[in-house]
Structures are given as structure tokens and as C-alpha cells.
Amino acid sequence: MAKKYSNAKLKQFRKSIEKRMEEIAEDMGDIHDGILDNGNDSEGSSQESVFSVHMADAGTDSFEQEKNYLLMGRESDYYKNLEIALDRIDDGIFGICKICAELIPEERMLEVPNATKCVGCKEKEKLGLV
């Protein structure tokens, strides 16, 4: 099995991941507020009066609402992946490629903390070679 990251490096990764999780939680709060407040500021855009507004405005409101739900889902999925990364730190397997069992470069783990494969193995996987 490959080398593991030192405890000091793992603490650094944990701190970085926890910071990202805080940022994501704030972003999800903003998106949630946007979903709840959608249309409350403009006259005639509530569900009861949707027929009194222009069709294009209603379509734009629906698009924005759908976009917010998609963003919320995406952020939620990323948050869950970061939680899993924290679990991998606890289990002592953080930063070890699932395929080749080599240490994933620190730069990649700082940029993509939920990565479970090194770049080479990820590319081979995408090409169907693994």
C-alpha cells in the first residue's frame, strides 16, 4: 500500500474541507431563501395571480425556481461528498487512489477534496480502460 499523508497534512485537509462545507452551507441558505422569496417582491407573481402576469414573466419565474432547485441539489450532493471525505480522513484512507492505491498528489486533494482517484486512473476510467 502507498504512503499515507501525515497527521499534520490530514489536519490541514480537514480544516480546508470544513471551511468549504461552511461556505456551501451559507450558499445553500442563500439559495433556499431565494426559493422561498421567489416572486414575493414583485406584484402579481404569486401562484394565485399567475394568470394576471405576462406569460414570459411567469416562464422566467418558473425557470429561476427550477434553476434554484437544481443548484440546491448540486450543492447538497457536494456537501455530502465532503462529509464522506471527512470520513475517509477518519478511516485513514484519505488521498489514496481507489484503483492503484497510490497517494493522490496534495495539489489535487486541495482542489478536489472529494477525489478518490488519481488523475491517471480517472482518465483511464473515463476512457473505459479500467
User: What is the tens place of the pLDDT at every residue in 60-81?
Assistant: 778 888 888 899 999 999 999 9
Instruction: Give residue for cell 477518519.
Output: 90
pLDDT tens-digit readout, 81-94? 999 999 999 999 99
Proportion of the chain above pLDDT 90, given as a percent:
64
Strand partners, 103: 96
Rounded mean pLDDT of the chain? Answer: 86
Please state the domain extents for the chain: 7-95
pLDDT tens-digit readout, 98-109? 999 999 999 999
d(CA 114, CA 108): 10
The torsion angles phi and psi of 103, rounded to 5 degrees, stand at -75, 125
pLDDT value of residue 130 = 72
Amino acid (one-letter) located at 41? D
d(CA 19, CA 21): 5
